[in-house]
Structure 1
Amino acid sequence: MGNPKRGKVAYLPLDERPCNYEFPWLLAGDTDLELVRPPLEWMGRKKRPGRIAELGDWLEREAEDAEAAIVSIDTLLYGGIVPSRLHRLGEHEAARPLERLRRIRERRPDIRLYAFHLIMRCPQYSSSDEEPDYYADWGRELFRLGYLGHREQLGLAIAEEQQELSRIRLRLPEDVRDDYLERRAVNASANRASLELAADGTLDFLALPQDDAAPYGWTALDQQAVRQRIRELGAETRTLMYPGADETGCTLLARLAVERTNRSRPLVYARYASTLGPQVVPLYEDRPLGESVKAQLLAAGALLAESAADAQLVLLVNSPGGPMAESNDQLRPNAAYDVQRSVQELAEYAEHAVRVLGKPSAIADVAYANGGDLQLLRLLKAKGLLPELAGIAGWNTSGNTLGTAIAQLLLHARYGRTPAQLGFLGLRVAEDYGYCAAVRRPLADGVIRERGMDYFNVDGERGAAAGLVREALELFLEQEGFTDGPLRIRIEDCCLPWSRMFEVGLRVEANDGDAGAPTISEDRE
């Protein structure tokens, strides 16, 4: 075994998509952290699991001389996030690869070992795109079975709900129900096994993100069992459970940067766009936004400050003032956005925090699900403020956005303004606002459909659909003023990693007004 290399981080991603494979690697650019990751071809693709044995061997080998390791337990056990919902492993077989983490700790007592292990999700809709094939026909019923059964168990089910539950129990095929619940039981057992590693000190920290959560149902029941086991093991200081998933690699990278250099946790002031913002329960999540902000900060190694005066850093949370909407609906009149919040005031405070208080500040744009708030982007652009921010994010779920924005903020606080930081900010503008909010749905409903494709099935990673996306993004950047001015962004490459419209892989070139050489942000080689 060689001597540990200061700054080397062995990173085992959750899957091969850019958000998991690329984002942490990009954020580590221009820092003293050398992030190493497995070859992309080992990571599998969507429903096809990664090379579990080779990935485990790689992790043990790279950990021998690493300062730290960040490990997706779902990849270590199942070969990725989607395969974790499809496998046919028994409890002991599924948990066996956890012994690799014990061996790493035995060989390297001084390594910083962080891991994350998802609570298996239960989508509310019928689609087999990322679930077993039968979920296309029975997904909604499986969700409602858990949701209503949980409410019945708590004595909360009203008469109509009890009647619906009875109908589902009669209609749902027994083999479908059993297959789904048996897999959930195996995964829940593996969650409990990973808690043992946190409790005995094998892991320095274990994040337990909840993908697609709800207040009642299978996910809530699994969380209860995990929470009880955490208390039994006395593992509260080494574990944290909260809504999230694909941002967690970034979160733990930020935690590493904080813990290896800071004697105390950075204090972050959260400024909301709406009075009721902290109480809003975001779409696809199970708790108020304010609780998720606290948990995401804590997972990343920071703490929530009571005021800007107490804080070193500022997180500007673009929150709705009422029930959250999808980004596709942001042009429709909605009192939760038009009356019960002030995005203008948030933009003014962002300018104050950056230019008057002089505090690193990032935007967590959680106003909508699945895309950024174009009104906020235009306000920040008008002020010339974007290149002065520590970070910005507005993609997918609230948890994904919070974790990505907080990671940028904490890394900026540690390493300052760098070409890699500006490149990642440019990538977020192009992807979260250009693609997710402005381009994706009109393309999917228009020319993509006209050419015989659909949202979940296009002509490959680099086919005509990817070309259409690139053209639309280039037009968006030109129309929104990102081809000149304080922040200039150019698309270098564009692909659709899972041959569908939900996610995009981009490589962008980003310049600020003072820059000499361009900065490159790569999402996919």
Structure 2
Amino acid sequence: MRRTRRLTPRTLSVVATAAVALTFAVAPSGAPAAAAAPPANLGRLAVVPLDDRPFTAHTPVAVAEAGGHEALTPPEDLLGEYFTYGQADAVGAWWRKAAADADGSVVAAPMLAYGGLVASRTCQTSLADARRRLAVLDEVKRSNPDKPLYAFDVIMRLTIEPTSSYPGIHSGPIRRWAVLMDQVENLGQEERRAEYEQVASEIPEEIKADFLCARARDHQINRDMIERVAKGTIDYLILGQDDATEHGPHRLEKASLAALTAQLGVQDRVRIYPGADILGALLVAKHVTERLGAAPTVDVEWSRTPGEQWVAPYQDVPYATLVDEYVRTLGARPSDGPDADILLMANTAGGGNLEPFADRIHDAVARGRLVAVGDDALAGKVDAELRSLLAPRIRFGELAGWSGWNIGLSISQSVVRAALLQASRTGRLPNFPGRAKGIPFQQARQTILLNAATAHVELTLQELAHTDVYRNQVLSQVQAYARDNGDDPQYMTKVFEGANQLAVQRTRALADQLFADEFAGIPLRAGNDGRHEVTAVVHRLTSWQMTLAWSRYQELEAFPTLALSTAPTDRGALLTVSALPLRTTVRPESEVDTRITAVLRNDVGTPVTAQLSAVVPEGWVAPAPTEVRLAPFAVVEVPLTVGVRGLAAEQSATVRVDAPHGVLPDQPRQFTASATTTVGAVWRNVALAAEGAKASASGWWRQYVPAHVIDGNRVSSGSRWITDPADSHWLRVDFAGAELVDTVRLHQYGGYELTSYRISGLVDGTWRVLDEVTGNTTQVTTHTFTPVRATAVRLDVLASRDRQARLYEIEVTCRAASCG
């Protein structure tokens, strides 16, 4: 099935108005027209994609557009589709012509040499043919010596395509065989030889031979590409490691390629690191950023596990190393300062509470920073836990990017956006020399900036529609549909039409709601047109283009078309108001004052006056209303003190911050903006790492360490204590000091509850039994006792459903009035 996708430049849809009194960029009447016609973009790039999937084919185009550039791409019928390989020679011929009309090129060697990524995993193309086809690189560079040529190639992954038919049924054994090959033949781990030979015997010889042939050919082409860098044919090269682990044939291949790079002295122009699908977008972003003359700074923060200590799924280097490589590839500069142009929030896996991470994102977005979320915690999709935490805090359209399982996109998108904003505000836009003045050139700048802003928001919406809406909520249904109807979800030959209809129908409704909740009405600063800061709002979603990308269930094309509006009448507000933090806690039944911060951000280039007030529950004490004046694009923080009165345990109440505002005297219309924060009554949990507690245990299974039960996370499956099977287990939590306690609550794993256990407290150096339980079937259990002053608690697990202990969280509190 051949689909129609949007690989051609998009058409800008902006709802404009002639009466833009609030500041939107409008040229003064009577300005003389420039003699020369202004350009329609800031430059053109010829892009040869890796294959025809949306991420590899469309994302580089969208990144270029988000930077005000146009990407030229081959006709889609030349790119192939899944097992129908691309027409490599025809693509090369297309690029030979396109490169002459472009300002630079980004090319995927696997498409030019073999016909795409899937084709590179078989030995169907000979080394001689691959070399002949890649001669187009030399031809194009000779014809265009001054135009940058950036290229990427791929170090072959560990396995072949995982279909249920031949040869795909052997994909799992091939992967295991490749790993064992390295461990036994290269590292001498003879204890694994028996398994290695057994796995090898189960794989047909022709499959092993083809696999090894493809690896050897691809490796030689990788070497050829490095040599082209040394000769000056390729100006910058990335060799991306496709899906891998610590061991496998790729390990020595990478070492060989690195050695050649060093031998030829081209380390500054050849990078070797994990990645395949993202490489085209990275190199397009590099081109755009360099053409804009910008070098944005990037500050990176990790969620749960520090990037230096975590390796993402299917990668073989620490996450921090990969992120640093991506940032430096783009010409951006790493920074740990609070004034960095971009705040990259990298979501890693592991135990720990995600709320502080979500709070930091909330805080930065409220203040108008460019915040990108790189979400690699879960392979292939958005982390639903993080999404649920962010939904009440921010609107996703405010972000500078969110990529579910490919932080390279978040980095590329946010760096390009920052670069364009910087270039527009410093007068460094390409193709707009100093003499390019007058209404036509100013309007052209406006159009380019608005076009770029539209492409940026569309890319964020597209990514979330795919990696969150589709992959989290619909994908499993499509997979089940194919299986239930006797087809292979990895390669549907019988029920593709039905599966596609199911995917589109289910996703479309959810994606429409995603737009309404998270994008509609979002304010945007598009950049400076030479006179004014161009601003707009996301006005409407005009259409979706959706279909399964290939005849398999994994990827859904979901291309939205959005319309921006520069009309003041289409704005619901001129200000964005946030109440920080989202949630504040107090002791139950207490009468205390709590502090919240109202952050007001002026989203337009006109001074705005707001009347700030707080609406509190009956009986509480509200802060006095106050008037706030905001300069254009200013951010003002206003501390508010709320008197909380008699909130019962486990209850919460909402405080609403209102900011009616307007532009006076010429704009009498009043706008509204508001935000809410929640005050909850909870008991102080002394068994938290944040309170200084430490956990130890009789043992644990894999990464499910005892520290997870004191991290405040009761919901993440990655944040549990789990043990190996045994007759008994123990867990101990030491407090920061002696604490008066009278309640222990256990958050257990449903279906695998602890059936028999004992809770003890360490009082005056002696363990005292506080409660004992037998026959438990309850997931959350609460145990109360006479208050004791203890320095630790201990849980002795005497029996469980399957002889393993599983526990999300332990809470230790004091709830009696005498606790104070």
The 1-side partners of 2:93 and 2:259 are apart by 33
Within 5 A, what are the aligned runs for 1:277-296? 277-296=307-326
**Larger relative helix fraction:** 1
C-alpha deviation, 1:58, in angstroms: 1.1
Q: Secondary structure at the match of 1:382?
A: coil
The 1-side partners of 2:248 and 2:235 are apart by 30
List per-residue Cα deviations over 1:201-259 (Å, max 9, x = no partner).
21111011111111111222221221121111111100111111111111111111111
The 2-side partners of 1:176 and 1:249 are apart by 30
Within 5 A, what are the aligned runs for 1:169-248? 169-248=200-279
Aligned to 1:507: 559
1:409 to 390, 410, 414: 414
Question: TM-score, normalised on structure 2?
Answer: 0.55
C-alpha deviation, 1:509, in angstroms: 4.1
2:356 to 345, 358, 376: 345
Aligned to 2:574: none
Aligned to 1:431: 466
Within 5 A, what are the aligned runs for 1:19-38? 19-29=55-65, 31-38=67-74
Q: Is the 8 A contact 2:153 2:239 kept in 1?
A: yes
Q: Secondary structure at the match of 1:109?
A: coil
Aligned to 1:456: 490
Q: Describe the shift of the 1:368–1:57 C-alpha distance in structure 2 as closer, same or farther (beyond 3 A).
A: same
Farther off after superposition, 58-67 or 277-286: 277-286
Aligned to 1:167: 198
Matched, 1:483 2:493: no
Q: Describe the shift of the 1:238–1:442 C-alpha distance in structure 2 as closer, same or farther (beyond 3 A).
A: same
C-alpha deviation, 1:415, in angstroms: 2.7
Aligned to 2:81: 45
Within 5 A, what are the aligned runs for 1:60-79? 60-79=96-115
Matched, 1:391 2:401: yes
Q: Describe the shift of the 1:227–1:128 C-alpha distance in structure 2 as closer, same or farther (beyond 3 A).
A: farther
Q: Is the 8 A contact 1:466 1:494 kept in 2?
A: no
Q: Is the 8 A contact 1:119 1:219 kept in 2?
A: yes
Q: Is the 8 A contact 2:67 2:417 kept in 1?
A: no
The 2-side partners of 1:155 and 1:474 are apart by 51
Aligned to 1:267: 297
Q: Describe the shift of the 1:494–1:118 C-alpha distance in structure 2 as closer, same or farther (beyond 3 A).
A: same
C-alpha deviation, 1:442, in angstroms: 3.4
The 1-side partners of 2:241 and 2:77 are apart by 27
C-alpha deviation, 1:156, in angstroms: 5.7
Aligned to 1:444: 479
The 2-side partners of 1:485 and 1:140 are apart by 40
Aligned-pair Cα RMSD in Å: 2.8
Q: Secondary structure at the match of 2:391?
A: helix
Q: Secondary structure at the match of 2:229?
A: helix
Q: Describe the shift of the 1:270–1:257 C-alpha distance in structure 2 as closer, same or farther (beyond 3 A).
A: same
The 2-side partners of 1:101 and 1:194 are apart by 10
Question: TM-score, normalised on structure 1?
Answer: 0.84
Q: Secondary structure at the match of 1:456?
A: coil
The 2-side partners of 1:450 and 1:173 are apart by 29
Matched, 1:57 2:100: no
The 2-side partners of 1:289 and 1:186 are apart by 29
Aligned to 1:362: 372
Q: Describe the shift of the 1:170–1:377 C-alpha distance in structure 2 as closer, same or farther (beyond 3 A).
A: closer
1:497 to 536, 549, 563: 549
C-alpha deviation, 1:97, in angstroms: 2.3
**Larger relative strand fraction:** 2
C-alpha deviation, 1:501, in angstroms: 0.5
Q: Describe the shift of the 1:151–1:187 C-alpha distance in structure 2 as closer, same or farther (beyond 3 A).
A: same
Q: Is the 8 A contact 1:372 1:432 kept in 2?
A: yes
Q: Number of residues paired by the alignment? A: 481
Q: Is the 8 A contact 2:365 2:394 kept in 1?
A: no
Gaps of 5+ in 1: 322-339, 396-400, 519-525
Q: Secondary structure at the match of 1:96?
A: helix
Q: Describe the shift of the 1:474–1:225 C-alpha distance in structure 2 as closer, same or farther (beyond 3 A).
A: same
AA aligned opposite 1:320: A
AA aligned opposite 1:433: D
Q: Is the 8 A contact 1:259 1:301 kept in 2?
A: yes
Aligned to 2:144: 108
C-alpha deviation, 1:11, in angstroms: 0.5
Q: Describe the shift of the 1:257–1:441 C-alpha distance in structure 2 as closer, same or farther (beyond 3 A).
A: same
Q: Is the 8 A contact 2:548 2:556 kept in 1?
A: yes
The 2-side partners of 1:107 and 1:6 are apart by 23
AA aligned opposite 1:115: A
C-alpha deviation, 1:477, in angstroms: 4.0
Q: Secondary structure at the match of 2:103?
A: strand
Q: Is the 8 A contact 1:10 1:37 kept in 2?
A: yes
Q: Secondary structure at the match of 2:65?
A: coil
1:470 to 489, 501, 504: 504
The 1-side partners of 2:70 and 2:383 are apart by 34
Q: Describe the shift of the 1:461–1:17 C-alpha distance in structure 2 as closer, same or farther (beyond 3 A).
A: farther
Q: Secondary structure at the match of 1:309?
A: coil
C-alpha deviation, 1:288, in angstroms: 1.5
Q: Is the 8 A contact 2:292 2:420 kept in 1?
A: no
The 2-side partners of 1:252 and 1:485 are apart by 29
Q: Is the 8 A contact 2:549 2:556 kept in 1?
A: yes
Q: Is the 8 A contact 1:209 1:243 kept in 2?
A: yes
Aligned to 1:148: 180
List per-residue Cα deviations over 1:169-214 (Å, max 9, x = no partner).
5554443322221221111111100111112221111011111111
Q: Is the 8 A contact 1:6 1:67 kept in 2?
A: no
AA aligned opposite 2:172: R
Q: Describe the shift of the 1:444–1:120 C-alpha distance in structure 2 as closer, same or farther (beyond 3 A).
A: same
Q: Secondary structure at the match of 2:516?
A: coil
Q: Is the 8 A contact 2:74 2:94 kept in 1?
A: yes
Q: Secondary structure at the match of 1:282?
A: coil
The 1-side partners of 2:361 and 2:337 are apart by 12
C-alpha deviation, 1:168, in angstroms: 3.5
Identity of aligned residues (%): 28
The 2-side partners of 1:517 and 1:73 are apart by 47
Aligned to 2:392: 382
Q: Secondary structure at the match of 1:117?
A: strand
Structure of larger gyration radius: 2
List per-residue Cα deviations over 1:425-449 (Å, max 9, x = no partner).
111121110011221013422x444
Q: Is the 8 A contact 2:122 2:211 kept in 1?
A: no
Q: Describe the shift of the 1:235–1:167 C-alpha distance in structure 2 as closer, same or farther (beyond 3 A).
A: same
Aligned to 1:334: none
C-alpha deviation, 1:452, in angstroms: 4.1
The 2-side partners of 1:28 and 1:468 are apart by 32
Gaps of 5+ in 2: 1-40, 422-451, 521-539, 572-820
Q: Is the 8 A contact 1:391 1:408 kept in 2?
A: yes
Q: Is the 8 A contact 2:396 2:518 kept in 1?
A: no
The 2-side partners of 1:86 and 1:106 are apart by 31
Aligned to 1:89: 125
Q: Describe the shift of the 1:163–1:494 C-alpha distance in structure 2 as closer, same or farther (beyond 3 A).
A: same
2:285 to 254, 267, 276: 254
AA aligned opposite 1:507: F
The 2-side partners of 1:14 and 1:172 are apart by 29
Q: Is the 8 A contact 1:120 1:187 kept in 2?
A: yes
